[in-house]
């Protein structure tokens, strides 16, 4: 992999990740852009303890542009985009409309391919491996920023999810706090360790799923994918490396090599679960990585956390979405219409030939 760093016209950082070591990236952003002005602020809910990002400048962000005006496509003659080059492998840049900025964190956009009409599932294993290298590199660099407590790599796919740009891309958030969901995992893991005589909760979950087998979707040499026992979403899969590591930086070569095979197969199965002729399945793919520093006055033992990816869709059946209604939105108590064992069986049925 070759990494090239440059700057956009308004001063934001742009990074190219190329599979070829001889790639040359010298194109200059010729757009007349003013410096980015953000108003990101993090506020704490005194009742729930949750952090909320207030970012009013995002109201003006680009919204469903036509394909010939896509800001994530390479620049062409007469049409300048966020990426000055005429082609690219993977490109990462600071978000022009960030939810978090400055002392409140950092937000980046990750363009998986220059092909506007592709999706992550269309990538080759080599291309998917390059995206993994980009995620890992950005995790390493964000981890060094003093204001960052947690690095979150994710992809939203589909208009139903709320995606405003159709080009295949994801984002990376550097949070200045430990997210509520991760804090819950850490508390659960700590309580389990104390009550079980020192065992690791994540290891136990993986061992239990492998022993049961009814919810396992893919079982590789270095990764395992399963529908969790108490899945929140109609079709939800968790992908874990079998060797526990706290974040992407600690994956060994064997795990990095196998990941594209496993992940691409999962994404392709997601596009087949609702049958032929259905539109692409909307999904969220979220990497969970160990945070840094302290939580509630206690040092976080990053070695007890397990890196994993959670992949889920809000579509529950053909033509129907899973909405977060009263119980989910009002009380955060999920009601799942699809038994996890049924979801896993369906995902096994739609395996690639």
**What is Dmax (Cα atoms) for the chain?**
66
Number of other CB atoms surrounding residue 262 within 10 Å: 23
Query: Rounded distance, CA 331 to CA 338, Å?
Result: 20
Taking the alpha carbons of 217, 266, 206, 215 in that order, is the dihedral positive or negative? negative
Q: What is the DSSP letter of 41?
A: E
Contact 222, 255 (CB under 8 A): yes
Burial tier of 242 (Cβ tally within 10 Å: 0-12, 13-18, 19+) = middle
Query: Rounded distance, CA 351 to CA 268, Å?
Result: 8
Query: Of the listed 167, 169, 238, 288, which one is catalytic?
Result: 169
Burial tier of 312 (Cβ tally within 10 Å: 0-12, 13-18, 19+) = buried
Residue 116 annotated to the active site: no
Sequence-ordered strand ranges (E) for 158-234: 169-175, 216-219, 223-226
Catalytic positions, written as ranges: 169
């Amino acid at each position: 992999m070759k990494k090239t760093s440059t700057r956009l016209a308004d001063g934001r950082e742009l990074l190219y990740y190329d599979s070829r070591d001889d790639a040359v990236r010298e194109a200059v952003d010729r757009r007349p852009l003013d410096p980015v002005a953000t108003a990101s602020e993090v506020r704490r809910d005194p009742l729930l303890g949750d952090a909320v990002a207030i970012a009013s400048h995002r109201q003006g962000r680009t919204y469903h542009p036509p394909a010939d005006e896509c800001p994530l496509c390479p620049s062409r003659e007469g049409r300048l985009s966020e990426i000055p080059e005429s082609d690219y492998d993977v490109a990462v840049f600071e978000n022009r409309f960030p939810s978090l900025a400055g002392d409140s964190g950092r937000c980046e956009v990750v363009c998986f391919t220059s092909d506007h009409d592709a999706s992550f599932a269309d990538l080759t294993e080599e291309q998917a491996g390059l995206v993994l290298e980009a995620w890992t590199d950005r995790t390493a660099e964000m981890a060094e920023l003093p204001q960052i407590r947690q690095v979150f790599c994710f992809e939203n796919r589909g208009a139903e999810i709320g995606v405003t740009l159709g080009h295949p891309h994801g984002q990376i958030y550097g949070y200045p706090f430990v997210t509520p969901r991760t804090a819950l995992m850490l508390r659960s893991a700590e309580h389990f360790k104390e009550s079980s005589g020192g065992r690791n909760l994540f290891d136990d979950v993986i061992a239990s799923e492998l022993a049961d087998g009814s919810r396992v979707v893919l079982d590789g040499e270095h990764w395992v994918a399963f529908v969790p026992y108490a899945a929140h979403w109609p079709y939800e899969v968790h992908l874990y490396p079998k060797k526990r590591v706290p974040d992407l930086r600690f994956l060994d070569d064997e795990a990095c090599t196998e990941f594209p095979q496993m992940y691409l197969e999962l994404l392709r199965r997601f596009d087949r679960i609702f049958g032929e002729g259905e539109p692409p399945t909307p999904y969220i793919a979220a990497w969970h990585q160990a945070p840094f520093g302290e939580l509630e006055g206690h040092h976080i033992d990053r070695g007890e956390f397990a890196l994993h990816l959670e992949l889920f869709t809000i579509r529950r059946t053909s033509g129907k979405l899973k909405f977060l209604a009263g119980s989910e939105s009002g009380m955060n108590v999920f009601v799942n219409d699809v038994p996890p064992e049924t979801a896993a069986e369906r995902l096994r049925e739609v395996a690639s030939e």
